[in-house]
Amino acid sequence: MAFKQVTIIGTGLIGGSLGLALKKRHLAGRIIGCDRAPVLERAQDCGAIEAGITNPADAVRGSDLVVLATPVIPILDLIDRLGPALLAKTLVTDVGSTKVEVVQRAAKSFGRNARHRFLAGHPMAGKEHAGVEFADADLFEGAAWLFTPLPGQNVHAGQCGEFIHCAEKIGAKVAVVDPADHDRFCAWISQLPQMISTALAATLVDEFGPDAPVLDIGGRALREMTRISGSPYSMWRDIAITNRKNLGDALQKMEQRLAHIRENLDSKQLADEFERAHQLRKNSPQRHGGSEKGKSSQ
Give the CATH number, domain containing residue 84.
3.40.50.720
Q: Which domain holds residue 159?
A: 3-177
Same domain, 139 and 263: no
**Which tens digit of pLDDT belongs to each residue from 17-42?**
999 999 999 999 999 999 999 999 99
Q: Do 31 and 146 belong to one domain? A: yes
CB 117 within 8 A of CB 86: yes
pLDDT over 90 at 291, yes or no: no
In angstroms, the CA 69 to CA 298 distance is 12
Residue 281 pLDDT level (bands cut at 50, 70, 90): confident
pLDDT at 83: 83
- Do 99 and 123 belong to one domain? yes
- Asked which of 37-46, 65-74, 80-89 is least confident by mean pLDDT, the reply is 80-89
Q: Is the pLDDT of residue 82 over 70?
A: yes
Residue 285 binned pLDDT confidence (cut-offs 50, 70, 90):
low
Are 128 and 9 in contact by the 8 Å Cβ rule? The answer is no
Residues 237-278: tens digit of each pLDDT: 999 999 999 999 999 999 999 999 999 999 999 999 999 999
| pLDDT 10s digits, 173-207 | 999 999 999 999 999 999 999 999 999 999 999 99
What is the model's pLDDT at position 293? Answer: 41
pLDDT tens digit sequence for 93-113 = 999 999 999 999 999 999 989
Whether 294 shows a pLDDT value over 70: the answer reads no
Q: Say whether both 189 and 272 belong to one domain.
A: yes
**For position 297, what pLDDT does the model report?**
59
What percent of the chain shows pLDDT beyond 70? 94
pLDDT at position 129 over 80? no
Same domain, 78 and 220: no
pLDDT of residue 288: 44
Same domain, yes or no: 156 and 9: yes
Question: Is the same domain home to 48 and 75?
Answer: yes
Q: Give the number of domains in the chain.
A: 2
| Residues 10 and 156 placed together within one structural domain of the fold | yes
- 109 and 242 in a single domain? The answer is no
Asked whether residue 157 is assigned to any structural domain, the reply reads yes
160 shares a domain with 18: yes
CATH of the domain at 211: 1.10.3660.10
Q: Are residues 231 and 171 in the same domain?
A: no
In the chain, what percentage of residues exceed pLDDT 90? 83
295 pLDDT above the threshold of 80: no
Task: Tell me, yes or no, whether 47 and 111 share the same domain.
Answer: yes
Tell me whether residue 291 is in a domain: no
